[in-house]
């Protein structure tokens, strides 16, 4: 179960013909109420796709009745024609569901710089609208179809659920396999809940949850133009959720989806958690971990099962002093539990490090404070190069 | 001819046994005078190798009699033992050449975190000292041997010469094939001249020349711990060089070596020049071009001969507004002469772009000012991943 796990939601995934593969490529998630509260986080990329520009307008009143998502085209850098396509998509959904088009979020993912076929989209929206009127639209199968319809180079759908003993539920689905970097990733995420929360409460919870989950996934350093994380609340449980408990559950759900995205990153053979300890601040810990996660040399070494801690420190050293306090010769590095460097000198032999498992832990102790943070990344592999030199989904 | 092209220099390249391959791995360039003026630019990485720490001390008086360089080990993160190795290397050179060890620059390149074998180095320095006493040490062959001895994953030595009609000459050699990024690259460069110039004049010329050449090479975004560019002046021509003419010639020589480094970057199949035009400032133009040069998705697309301009604009969009002024929907992009995007919308069909040649030109017109800059980078290839997942030279 995912987006249909909470009460008050219906979902559909259909084939509109946008993907060359002929697979499911258009999804709608409808909020059946009684509430229509919502919050969203969008990409911080200045080159925003047309669906982002549209959806930002929709969010001005914090009210969302439905979200429509397509794979097979990003509708980014497609000018005024592209914006008209997004607008017409929202209108088609509004007509099918008898809601206001101003309450319909639109998300697109795929190649940048090519127009979407509006005829195929409106036909797909019609098919999805028919499916949504069926009682089965609130089933787990319907949620799964929606999760499949938003996949691009993903090899599997990503879903997660959190159930509170207080009587409310959160469900979520995500797509994203490349261009995974902060602010956010090439990533579309739809989260639903039947808890009773205001749009302002949802917004606060979503910002806190994404800050420590999706924003700390940095698979390949590339930031997309289309990223959207949306959180829709139906209130159908009738239970007023405690905001703190809700934020914790939402963070757990977002972490679950984040790790699913990491585990399915394009071409990756290792999931690498880079943890910085004893930093002067959380922000500085993130800066240090992110610098390592961006080093192609480090990432290629991990692919080759080479515990090359010199490349870790070389990456750490690129950070200006104003951005992170540390003594470059006082740093410890452990890889998969073996402390290979202590205070900037070789410690345990690198031969002791076993990098054959997919999960890799790199721990960097700055000895500069008391806080820490983790960035999740992947290795740089032949398959990454292959997939991204031939990408045209 | 390279470092031995100007009068007043001798060079040697010998096999000290530091490289597993058994090739030349230790070089000395001696300044025979009458002047011993010098300038250097070191890596801005905070994790500096022991030879950098030593050489910074040597430069305090702007006087250099000789430079010794080894491949087969970076002598970085090797603690006090590593520093003693560097110091002893300088002492050995000083003894051979009858100069002060405080006037001997030391450069090392290779793996980080492993101790160099001091016995092999001192034996190599002895052999090089013998060779330097021969008249042939000022020949082109001697310069070539030195250029070969500093190679690591380089496939060919890099040398350049500039001759002024005023009667002075500049020669240079460089190594560097991976970790090529600003401030500077994994790069050792020795430049010699017989012009009469003070250390302060050499310093001003070197900073200006490297700013627009080596600092604009960003092959893989990784910055080394050992980078050194040194400029030694013997004054042996007896000609007072015009500083402006000298800076121009030095810049041309540095650009020549920069493009040789780009052309031999690890695993690369394309040399990509990313030129930003009509920016509000040169700094902003560099920021925009560098952001594109750091996009693995863009670099993988170029490898696959895919003129994916969407990835260019997605990378440009990641730059905060405070760092570069532009309208994200007002940008033009041309790839190899074909304008594929005008004002943020598709223009010429991407099929018209021919990416089969090794040289690739990407021109980004920001329409935000009147100045520009170029960053040189490479594509992201299978061979890059292969070389860097198995690197242990």
pLDDT confidence bin for A392, thresholds 50/70/90: very low
Q: Torsion-angle region of residue A305: left (phi > 0), alpha (psi -120 to 50) or beta?
A: left
Domain with B188, as residue range(s), is 9-263
What CA–CA distance (Å, rounded) separates B385 from A299?
Answer: 9
Residue A224, pLDDT score: 67
Closest-CA residue of chain A to B302: A389
Both B214 and B321 in one domain: the answer is: no
pLDDT confidence bin for A223, thresholds 50/70/90: low
Q: Identify whether the C-beta of residue B327 lies closer than 8 Å to the C-beta of residue B303.
A: no
The answer to whether position B4 is within a domain reads no
Both A148 and A238 in one domain: the answer is: yes
**ipTM, interface predicted TM-score of the complex:** 0.73
- DSSP for A188-214, written as a single string: EEEEEE-SB--HHHHHHHHHHHHHTTG
- DSSP for B45-82, written as a single string: -SS--HHHHHHHHHGGGTB-SEEEEE-SB---S-HHHH
Q: Using one digit for the tens of pLDDT, what is the confidence trace for A7-57?
A: 999 999 999 999 888 899 999 999 999 999 999 988 877 778 899 999 999
Of A77, A113, A344, the CB nearest to B77: A344
- DSSP for B168-214, written as a single string: -EEEEEEE-SSSEETTEES-EEEEEE-SB--HHHHHHHHHHHHHTTG
pLDDT confidence bin for A241, thresholds 50/70/90: very high
Residue B217 is given by DSSP the state B
User: Who has greater pLDDT, B242 or A227?
Assistant: B242
Say if the Cβ atoms of B45 and A317 lie within 8 Å: yes
| Tokens matching residue B13 | 């390249």
The answer to whether position A4 is within a domain reads no
State the helix-helix crossing angle for A296-303 and B382-389, rounded to 10 degrees. 70
Residue A364, pLDDT score: 97
Beta bridge partners of B66: B30, B104
Average of pLDDT values for A329-336?
A: 94
Residue B184, pLDDT score: 35
Residue in A179, A346, A386 to test binding to B, most B beta-carbons within 10 Å: A346
Of A225, A313, A321, the CB nearest to B47: A313
What CA–CA distance (Å, rounded) separates A282 from A208?
Answer: 14
User: What is the torsional sign of CA A234, A240, A243, A249?
Assistant: negative
Say if the Cβ atoms of B295 and A319 lie within 8 Å: no
Distance from CA of B176 to the nearest CA of A (A): 14
Both B99 and B214 in one domain: the answer is: yes
Pairing verdict, β A66-70 and A104-108? parallel
Q: Using one digit for the tens of pLDDT, what is the confidence trace for B345-357?
A: 889 999 999 999 9
Q: Identify whether the C-beta of residue A28 lies closer than 8 Å to the C-beta of residue A67.
A: yes
Say how many domains are in chain A: 2
CA atoms within 13 Å, Cβ hemisphere of A308: 26
Domain stops at, among A263, A290, A323: A263
Residues of A whose CB is below 8 A from B112: 308-311, 313-314
Binding residues of A: 152, 175, 186, 266, 388, 393
Both B257 and B301 in one domain: the answer is: no
Residue B265, pLDDT score: 79
Nearest to B112 by CA among B41, B214, B43: B43
Residue A332, pLDDT score: 96
Say if the Cβ atoms of B382 and A385 lie within 8 Å: yes
Residue B180, pLDDT score: 46
Residue in B49, B290, B310 to test binding to A, most A beta-carbons within 10 Å: B310
What CA–CA distance (Å, rounded) separates A383 from B369?
Answer: 40
Of A183, A296, A318, the CB nearest to B220: A296
Using DSSP, state whether A338 is helix, strand or coil: strand
Closest-CA residue of chain B to A227: B314
Could you say which of A122, A186, A258, A377 is catalytic? A186
Residue A222, pLDDT score: 62
Which of A273-287, A317-331, B192-206, B275-289 bottoms out in mean pLDDT, i.e. has the lowest?
A317-331
| Tokens matching residue B378 | 């490479």
Both A339 and A359 in one domain: the answer is: yes
Both B177 and B70 in one domain: the answer is: yes
Residues of B whose CB is below 8 A from A308: 112, 391
Say if the Cβ atoms of B389 and A111 lie within 8 Å: no
Domain stops at, among A263, A294, A323: A263
Q: Is the peptide bond before A75 cis (omega within 30 degrees of 0)?
A: no
Residues of B whose CB is below 8 A from A389: 300-301, 303-304, 306
Nearest to A87 by CA among A50, A113, A123, A124: A50
Q: To which residue do tokens 């691009």 refer?
A: A152
Using DSSP, state whether A324 is helix, strand or coil: coil
The answer to whether position A2 is within a domain reads no
Residue A57 is given by DSSP the state H
| Residues of B assigned a catalytic role | 186
Cα distances from B246 to residues A380, B241, B249, in angstroms, run 43, 6, 5
Residue A156, pLDDT score: 87
Average of pLDDT values for A307-336?
A: 91
Q: CA-CA-CA-CA torsion for A27, A261, B303, B319, nearest 10 degrees?
A: 90
Residue A135 is given by DSSP the state G
Pairing verdict, β A169-175 and A188-193? antiparallel
User: What is the torsional sign of CA A384, A385, A388, A391?
Assistant: negative
The answer to whether position B2 is within a domain reads no
The answer to whether position B171 is within a domain reads yes
Average of pLDDT values for A135-160?
A: 91
Residues of B whose CB is below 8 A from A310: 74, 76-77, 111-113, 225
Q: Which residues of A157-192 are buried (b: 16+ CB within 10 A; e: fewer)?
A: bbbbbbebeeebbbbbbbbbbbbbbbbbbbbbbbbb
Say if the Cβ atoms of A304 and B388 lie within 8 Å: yes
Residue B390, pLDDT score: 67
Is B387 a known ligand-binding residue?
A: no
Both B136 and B14 in one domain: the answer is: yes
CATH of the domain at B53: 3.60.70.12
Is B278 a known ligand-binding residue?
A: no
Domain stops at, among B229, B263, B297: B263
Q: Which segments in chain B show pLDDT lower than 70?
A: 177-186, 219-224, 390-393
Is B101 a known ligand-binding residue?
A: no
């Amino acid at each position: 179960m995912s987006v249909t796990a909470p009460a008050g939601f219906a979902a559909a995934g259909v084939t509109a013909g946008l993907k060359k593969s002929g697979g499911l490529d258009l999804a709608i998630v409808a909020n059946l109420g009684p509430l229509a509260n919502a919050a969203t986080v969008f990409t911080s990329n200045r080159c925003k796709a047309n669906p982002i520009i549209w959806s930002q307008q929709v969010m001005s009143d914090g009210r969302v009745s439905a979200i429509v998502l397509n794979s097979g085209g990003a509708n980014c850098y497609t000018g005024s024609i592209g914006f008209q396509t997004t607008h017409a998509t929202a209108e088609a959904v509004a007509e099918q569901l008898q809601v206001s088009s101003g309450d319909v979020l639109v998300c697109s993912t795929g190649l940048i710089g090519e127009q979407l076929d509006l005829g195929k989209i409106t036909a797909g929206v019609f098919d999805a609208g028919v499916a949504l009127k069926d009682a089965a639209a609130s089933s787990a199968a319907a949620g799964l179809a929606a999760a499949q319809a938003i996949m691009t180079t993903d090899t599997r759908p990503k879903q997660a659920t959190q159930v509170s003993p207080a009587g409310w539920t959160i469900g979520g689905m995500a797509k994203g396999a490349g261009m995974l970097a902060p602010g956010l990733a090439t990533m579309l995420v739809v989260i639903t809940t039947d808890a009773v929360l205001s749009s302002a409460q949802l917004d606060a919870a979503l910002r806190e949850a994404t800050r420590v989950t999706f924003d700390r996934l940095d698979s390949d350093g590339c930031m997309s133009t289309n990223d959207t994380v949306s959180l829709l609340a139906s209130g159908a449980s009738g239970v007023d959720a405690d905001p703190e408990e809700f934020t914790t559950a939402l963070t757990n759900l977002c972490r679950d989806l984040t790790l699913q995205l990491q585990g399915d990153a394009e071409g990756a053979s290792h999931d690498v958690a880079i943890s910085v300890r004893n930093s002067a601040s959380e922000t500085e810990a993130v800066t240090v971990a992110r610098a390592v996660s961006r080093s192609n040399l480090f990432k290629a070494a991990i692919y080759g099962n080479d515990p090359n801690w010199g490349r870790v420190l070389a990456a750490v050293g690129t950070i200006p002093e104003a951005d992170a306090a540390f003594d470059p010769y006082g740093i410890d590095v452990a890889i998969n539990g073996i402390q290979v460097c202590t205070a900037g000198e070789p410690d345990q032999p690198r031969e002791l490090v076993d990098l054959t498992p997919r999960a890799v832990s790199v721990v960097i102790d700055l000895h500069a404070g008391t806080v820490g943070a983790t960035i999740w990344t992947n290795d740089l592999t032949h398959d990454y190069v292959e997939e991204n030199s031939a990408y045209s989904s």
